[in-house]
């Protein structure tokens, strides 16, 4: 029996908890455009509860390939180098979102280094920025068009040369 959803059928992203909408059933939509059959539904991962206001992960069926890539930009801790966390979070990452969302940017995250692995050890990185895309192609196209502007903003918040890693999320 088809069910109508008020949002597009997910491909590999995180969606709001179905419980926030009163469970999986009971949705209605003025058109049947978003209708999916029970066999097409992604299974809701109930292995661990979502925290209040959190999200539950939808599990991709084995017959569908889900790819997500994360581009991580590492800023190593360096004596005498500057890093403006406020600018990075509130201005640079906003610029990144504004320029790359239309190319498939899913979300951004920023880590602020606190400590290393050993007691009292300094953090190896002062900051790490992460951007998530459904495909590497989307990231490359976006950077092809806006990379000069995005990379040109780096001197506004740091004198540390960034290290970049592109990863496929596999688990």
Q: Does one domain contain both 100 and 24?
A: no
- CB 145 within 8 Å of CB 44: no
Question: How many structural domains does the chain have?
Answer: 2
* Residues 41 and 74 reside in one and the same domain: no
> Pick from 29, 47, 66: which residue ends a domain?
66
Using pLDDT thresholds of 50, 70 and 90, give the confidence band for residue 109. Answer: very high
Q: Is the pTM of this model over 0.95?
A: no
Does 77 share its domain with 152?
Answer: yes
Q: How far is CA 100 from CA 17, 48, 132, in A?
A: 26, 32, 10
State which residues form the domain around 139.
69-168
Dump pLDDT digits (tens) for 79-102.
Answer: 999 999 999 999 999 999 999 999
Same domain? For 42 and 119 the reply is: no
* Co-location of 53 and 73 in the same domain: no
Of all residues in the chain, the percent with pLDDT exceeding 70 is 61
Question: Which residues are 162's β-sheet partners?
Answer: none
- Ranking 48-52, 133-137, 160-164 by mean pLDDT, the lowest is 48-52
User: Is position 1 within any domain?
Assistant: no
Same domain for 87 and 62, yes or no, is no
Q: Are 158 and 84 in contact (CB under 8 A)?
A: yes
User: Which CATH number does the domain housing residue 80 bear?
Assistant: 3.30.70.100
**Are 118 and 149 within one domain?**
yes
- Reported as type and span, the H/E element at residue 138 is helix 136-152
Same-domain check for residues 162 and 136: yes
Nearest-angstrom CA–CA distance, 101 and 81: 31
Indicate if 41 and 96 belong to the same structural domain. no
**In terms of domains, do 62 and 37 share one?**
yes
């Amino acid at each position: 029996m088809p069910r109508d959803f008020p949002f597009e059928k997910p491909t590999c992203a995180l969606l709001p908890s179905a419980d926030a909408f009163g469970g999986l059933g009971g949705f209605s939509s003025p058109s049947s455009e978003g209708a999916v059959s029970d066999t097409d539904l992604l299974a809701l991962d109930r292995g661990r509860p979502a925290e209040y206001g959190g999200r539950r992960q939808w599990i991709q069926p084995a017959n569908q390939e889900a790819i997500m890539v994360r581009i991580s930009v590492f800023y190593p801790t360096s004596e005498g180098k500057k890093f403006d966390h406020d600018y990075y979070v509130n201005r640079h990452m906003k610029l990144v979102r504004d320029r790359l969302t239309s190319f498939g940017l899913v979300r951004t995250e920023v880590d602020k280094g606190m400590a290393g692995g050993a007691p009292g050890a300094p953090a190896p990185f002062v900051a790490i920025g992460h951007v998530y895309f459904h495909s590497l192609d989307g990231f490359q196209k976006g950077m092809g068009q806006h990379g000069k502007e995005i990379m040109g903003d780096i001197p506004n918040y740091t004198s540390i040369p960034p290290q970049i890693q592109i990863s496929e999320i596999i688990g």
